[in-house]
Amino acid sequence: ANHTYNHPNLIELEQKDPMQVRREITQCTTAIRNAAGTPPVYFRAPFGAFPPESIQIAAQDGMSIMRWTASFDSLFGFQRASEEQAVQVPTEAMQHFVDALQSGDIILIHDHLRSAVNLEAFMNLAEKKGFSFALPGHELSSEALAKATPRLGDPNND
């Protein structure tokens, strides 16, 4: 997935330098193509900030837009300082997060240590509530991807 080259807020960047939005996306696509030998399939704007031009650029490059409806980072108060700490989420907070989920939600989970430490507990609680999981591209996730808009947590969180 393309997440831009330098991770800027694209809405803010578009206001300052609209051409830089295109450069951020195309430079990342080039880097992924060079490293992986194939272009990215998805585009997820940092912070969920999708100016219209970014959606057009992604579509022109054959990428699907990746949004989310719930952010796992909300369990950590969106504190970047704790990303690589083994922070254990209290069961009550985790249960509250799971109880707020709805069928078809797309959950943003960053690959940080704190996420890894809590992922099994989250998945167990969600599965007990009857949820199952599918990766992007799976037939069950296609409809959810098309309608996803941030709902849980801070929509400006990356």
Q: How many C-beta atoms lie closer than 10 Å to residue 71's C-beta?
A: 24
User: What is the Cα–Cα distance from 115 to 108, expressed in whole angstroms?
Assistant: 10
Residue 66 has pLDDT above 60, yes or no: yes
User: What are the residues whose beta carbons fall under 8 Å from the beta carbon of 85, sequence distance 6 or more?
Assistant: 113, 114
> Tokens standing for 151?
């709902």
CA distance to 34, 40, 135, 138, per residue, from 37 (Å): 6, 10, 22, 22
Query: Angle at which helices 113-128 and 91-100 pack, to 10 degrees?
Result: 60
28-39 confidence digits (pLDDT tens): 999 999 999 999
Is the overall model pTM greater than 0.85, yes or no? no
User: What are the residues whose beta carbons fall under 8 Å from the beta carbon of 26, sequence distance 6 or more?
Assistant: 57, 61
90-145 confidence digits (pLDDT tens): 899 999 999 999 988 888 888 888 889 999 999 999 999 999 888 776 655 555 55
DSSP state of 58: H
Residue 151 has pLDDT above 50, yes or no: no
